[in-house]
């Protein structure tokens, strides 16, 4: 991808799943990467990557803490010299509906769109000099209704609007802001829900996707790399679904064992 080599990137929640795939993809394209995570999985990832000789930096913390967000940006800028790229990935998966507590609402919004906004605000101080690119990790849940998912879906929906508004305001400084909306991806949380049996659940959950399978973290990372790169130089304020066709399906799904007649 054009324009990525030697760029300096910050990735939130980069220790596992989609986040780790993003970090590894950036490194493979010659970037220097600073990433964070809130537990020791991130630290283990950092040690593994540095042992392989990659130019990577790590700091541990919780994105719900505004002070940590500021520290992360300062840490990354000091270690790398500046910040050219930002991937807002860390999010709080709190899926609650009518019984959601105020505390659950607040964490969903603070770790999610509010932390995303804080990171953009802080990284802007560096990007406004030479331009830059931001990708926010959203979700198919930002675009549809799902049962008992008020908190998560509303927070992801806010990410969609944040992306558009930030893209508009930062365009004069040659900063592009986009988002991706993954479908069902084989992350640790999904693996756990499947009792670590991909072979059994991939075709079952795949019925929600035109591709008839769940996605891989690396497939999401590839889309993000494209949006960060100069290959996407005229793309901003948009969302790229990386969902295997999930959002394109109607209520009849794949049409298998459906009562809807074929009228063609």
**Annotated active-site positions, please?**
152
**Cβ atoms within 10 Å of 258's Cβ, excluding its own:** 11
**Cβ atoms within 10 Å of 122's Cβ, excluding its own:** 21
Closest CA to 185 of 157, 154, 159, 219: 219
Q: Name the β-bridge partners of 217.
A: none
Q: Which two tokens stand for residue 120?
A: 């953009």
Q: Distance of CA 128 to CAs 44, 173, 214, Å?
A: 33, 5, 38
Closest CA to 248 of 215, 197, 211, 210: 210
Closest CA to 21 of 43, 59, 49: 49
Q: What is the DSSP letter of 132?
A: E
Residue 129 phi, psi dihedral angles, 5° rounding = -75, -50
Q: Which two tokens stand for residue 218?
A: 């690396």
Residue 16 phi, psi dihedral angles, 5° rounding = -160, 170
Determine the Cα–Cα distance for residues 143 and 163; give it in Å rounded to an integer: 14
Cβ–Cβ < 8 Å for 228, 135: yes
């Amino acid at each position: 991808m054009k324009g990525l080599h030697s760029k300096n990137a910050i990735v939130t929640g980069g220790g596992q799943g989609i986040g780790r795939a993003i970090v590894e993809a950036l490194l493979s394209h010659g970037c220097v990467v600073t990433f964070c995570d809130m537990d020791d999985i991130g630290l283990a990832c950092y040690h593994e990557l540095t042992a392989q000789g990659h130019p990577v930096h790590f700091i541990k913390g919780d994105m719900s803490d505004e002070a940590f967000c500021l520290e992360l940006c300062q840490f990354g800028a000091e270690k790398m010299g500046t910040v050219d790229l930002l991937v807002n990935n860390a999010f709080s998966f709190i899926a609650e509906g009518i019984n959601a507590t105020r505390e659950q609402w607040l964490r969903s919004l603070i770790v999610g769109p509010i932390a995303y906004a804080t990171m953009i605000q802080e990284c802007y101080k560096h990007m406004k000099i030479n331009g830059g690119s931001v990708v926010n990790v959203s979700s198919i849940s930002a675009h549809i209704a799902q049962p008992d998912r008020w908190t998560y879906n509303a927070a992801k929906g806010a990410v969609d609007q944040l992306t558009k508004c930030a893209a508009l305001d930062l365009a004069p400084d040659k900063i592009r802001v986009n988002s991706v909306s993954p479908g069902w991806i084989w992350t640790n949380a999904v693996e756990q829900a499947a009792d670590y049996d991909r072979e059994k659940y991939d075709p079952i959950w795949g019925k929600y996707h035109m591709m008839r399978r769940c996605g891989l973290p690396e497939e999401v990372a590839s889309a993000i790399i494209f949006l960060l790169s100069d290959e996407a130089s005229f793309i901003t304020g948009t969302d790229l679904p990386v969902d295997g066709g999930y959002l394109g399906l109607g209520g009849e799904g794949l049409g298998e064992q459906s009562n809807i007649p074929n009228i063609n």
